[in-house]
Chain A
Amino acid sequence: MKIHHFLCAAIAASIPSLVCAQSNSSQPDYTKFAVEPGAQLEVWSWVVGLDSVAKDFEKEFPNIKVKVDNIGGGPTEYQKLQTAIKAGSGAPDVAQIEYDFLPSFIVTDGLADLTPFGAEQAKSYFVGWTWGQVSPDGKIVYGIPQDIGPLALMYNKKTFDKYQIAVPKTWDEFAAQAEKLSKASQGKVKIVNFFADYAPWFIGLAWAADGKFFETSDDTWSQELNNPIAEKVLTYWNDLVKKGYATTYKGFTPELYNAFANGEIAASVEAAWGPGVMAASLKERTAGDWRVAPLPQWKAGEAKSGNWGGSAFVVTKQSKFPRAATLFNIWLNTHRSAVLNNWYNTGIFPASIQGLADPELHMPDKDPSKFCGGQNVVQVYADAAKGVNVDFAWSPWFAFVNDNYNKQMSEMVAGKFTPRQALDAWQADSLKNAKDQGFEVKSQ
């Protein structure tokens, strides 16, 4: 390293460029990774524009060919991937998996340990806690972090201004403004959407209130989906729904985006990747009208947040080119151009330290910042990330927990369950499923 630095200094003296600053430590030295000759990688991911980023990778590493397949987002991909893992063939080399679903793949033994392929060299380039998400036991590394999803409040400034709604700092203020907005618009405009079909969204909100759902110690799991904090948060949201202040559109549906576009919904609790998805989905409609504010707090003056999603890029055990795959994953999530393009294309909020600090991420004339009126969206979410309690665990049966949330919330939204009943049923069903799957689970 010393020699390397010296050389750099020598070169820098003669060439006035940023070469040194870059090769210094902002990104790993990719040349150190030995890869299999003639590697061909198949990548499963739902990140928009990843194919063009993969082409940049191929330019830098002409000996590695990359084919990107978008076979569906989230659970759709997971079910296909689990099936391919069980079948023993048909899995891609690289796949995108959200942190909350990673344990369900660890226990099916489908993911390669990346430590023999030099994953540790990348560790220092990522926000500390994300490494804990991809390496739950601190030894085996199951993936390379891509992004994080701290929560904040996206709001339509035009609508807020029109009805003279103040940006709420606490949930009390939020409820008050929700009522004001509803009255001022004769019930036409709702302040927010309640996502009754995305458990990680709700868990993120409870996370921001210090809620915890899963823990593991000595090979035994515990699950508390119906914890008191979850009840407090869900009761609050159920009130908003019951009073007609919140819509209950399904997430990522045309109906939801129509409602955002035609001004029916004035704000949304969105993860850091949310503005990017919103910009890509709404395109010209309401572009420039949105802003991002910190997540409302339960206690005034605090700055807590939770996390929704965020993905890792894993290498499957079936891959014939795990070294090349590891290099791709590290490059994709640390290399400057890749990190920037992922942000511009679809608002992937990087888990890499250098990526977060990159001034170009703030470009006001490019989406998602442009979609938010040129606001420095990154700063709001970077601050939100600091308020996320990093000690948070998931469970291998989370795929079921996620689906079952949908069931219980449908009942609650339909008025058949109180929040308490919905949470209790969620806990009971999920506990039964975990036990049926053979997990040893405790609950208090």
Chain B
Amino acid sequence: MKKQSKIAYAFLAPFLILFVAFYLSPIVYAAYLSLFTKKRIGLRAAQDVFSGVTNYIRGFQDVNFLTSLKNILIFGIFQIPTMLIAALILALLLDQSRGLLMRVCRTIYFIPYTIPIAIGGLVWGCLYARDLSPVNQLLSTLNLARIDFLSPSLILFSIANITFWTWTGYNMITLFAALKNIPDELSEAARVDGAKRWDIVWRIKLPLLMPTFQLLFLFSIIGTSQIFAEAWVLRPIEYVADNITPNVYIYLTAARDTNYSYAAALAILLAAVVFAISSFLLRKLQPH
């Protein structure tokens, strides 16, 4: 090995070691695990037997897993655009305003992101609980029907609402930072050329914001596919289906049903699906 490359590896080592230990090896281990199934006899300890791609085939036929994917797809189609457009509008508004109000608003919008979801989720749980919810208490004093926020037909919206609350501020801050990075000279030049405020936003700022926006879009797809805590913290309050999101289902398959191999296979399938969807969308979005 040349001296130069030795030095290069020495510099890379801290990253590579952590990357291999905490990123690559769990994936390899999950892939390895996913090739086994359990053989059981009565009450005796179960044996792991090699069974190839059995778990993957089962995953494709698993109604619960497919339902969880469908749930998250519907969720994403509604929630991601709503959240990103709201974040974009807020960021543009902040960009146009100055002074104390801007800073106060910026902080307020960002605060939900800093609250751990375990705590935020509990607060939302109380807001959603059939009898404790202030909304329902108000409705019942007005003699109106209560809203069952956690019923099977509304639960996805209720979860979407929590993620909206948590992530809009984060996306807004990222977009806002990107807006601040746009050199003032561009706006000034446009103004000299006679562009109005709206023209500057529409023709200068938005196009320059697109790369950041696309990145946030990608992160949102990945984040949506990983939704777990928002659904999980609501489970003790009201029945939330096992298959509400893929990660809830995978977690229950592993930790509750102790079927770690099958859970590993499902996790890899989920990753593959998300990879396929996001690379497809990215290709569509890239200007050719």
Are the C-beta atoms of B42 and A219 separated by less than 8 Å?
yes
Are the C-beta atoms of A109 and B239 separated by less than 8 Å?
no
In the complex formed, the residue of A with least CB distance to B42 is A219
* Chain B: interface residue total (CB-CB under 8 A): 30
Say if the beta carbon of A82 comes within 8 Å of chain B.
Answer: yes
**Distance of A397 Cα from B257 Cα, bound (Å):** 7
* Residues on the A chain within 8 Å of B254, using CB: 83, 86
Say if the beta carbon of B260 comes within 8 Å of chain A.
Answer: yes
Are the C-beta atoms of A254 and B256 separated by less than 8 Å?
no
Q: A403-B256, A437-B257, A437-B259 are in contact. Are A219 and B239 (CB under 8 A)?
A: no
Q: A86-B258, A107-B45, A108-B46 are in contact. Are A197 and B40 (CB under 8 A)?
A: no
In the complex formed, the residue of A with least CB distance to B126 is A254
* Residues on the B chain within 8 Å of A79, using CB: 255-256
Chain A nearest Cβ from B191, distance in angstroms: 58
* Residues on the B chain within 8 Å of A396, using CB: 43
Q: A108-B258, A250-B238, A254-B132 are in contact. Are A437 and B42 (CB under 8 A)?
A: no
B229-288, CB < 8 A from A: 236-239, 241-242, 252, 254-260, 262
Chain B nearest Cβ from A263, distance in angstroms: 15
Are the C-beta atoms of B43 and A436 separated by less than 8 Å?
no
Say if the beta carbon of A220 comes within 8 Å of chain B.
Answer: yes
Say if the beta carbon of B95 comes within 8 Å of chain A.
Answer: no
Q: How many residues of A sit at the interface, in one of the four size bands?
A: 35 or more
Are the C-beta atoms of B42 and A255 separated by less than 8 Å?
no
* Residues on the B chain within 8 Å of A80, using CB: 255
Chain B nearest Cβ from A182, distance in angstroms: 19
Against A, the Cβ 8 Å flags (1 = close, 0 = not) of B39-53 are: 111111110000000
Say if the beta carbon of B131 comes within 8 Å of chain A.
Answer: yes
Against B, the Cβ 8 Å flags (1 = close, 0 = not) of A381-419 are: 000000000000000110110010011011000100000
Are the C-beta atoms of A108 and B40 separated by less than 8 Å?
no
Are the C-beta atoms of B236 and A107 separated by less than 8 Å?
no
Say if the beta carbon of A103 comes within 8 Å of chain B.
Answer: yes
**Distance of A399 Cα from B255 Cα, bound (Å):** 10
**Distance of A253 Cα from B216 Cα, bound (Å):** 38
Q: Please, could you name 29 A-B residue pairs with CB atoms under 8 Å apart, sorted by A? A: A78-B256, A79-B256, A83-B255, A104-B258, A106-B43, A107-B40, A107-B258, A108-B45, A108-B258, A137-B43, A196-B239, A219-B41, A219-B44, A249-B131, A250-B236, A254-B132, A396-B43, A400-B257, A403-B252, A407-B239, A410-B239, A433-B257, A436-B262, A437-B40, A437-B259, A438-B37, A438-B38, A438-B40, A438-B46
Q: A79-B256, A219-B41 are in contact. List 17 more A-B contacts (CB 8 A).
A: A80-B255, A83-B254, A107-B46, A108-B45, A109-B45, A216-B42, A249-B131, A250-B236, A250-B238, A253-B237, A255-B132, A399-B257, A407-B241, A437-B259, A438-B37, A438-B46, A439-B40
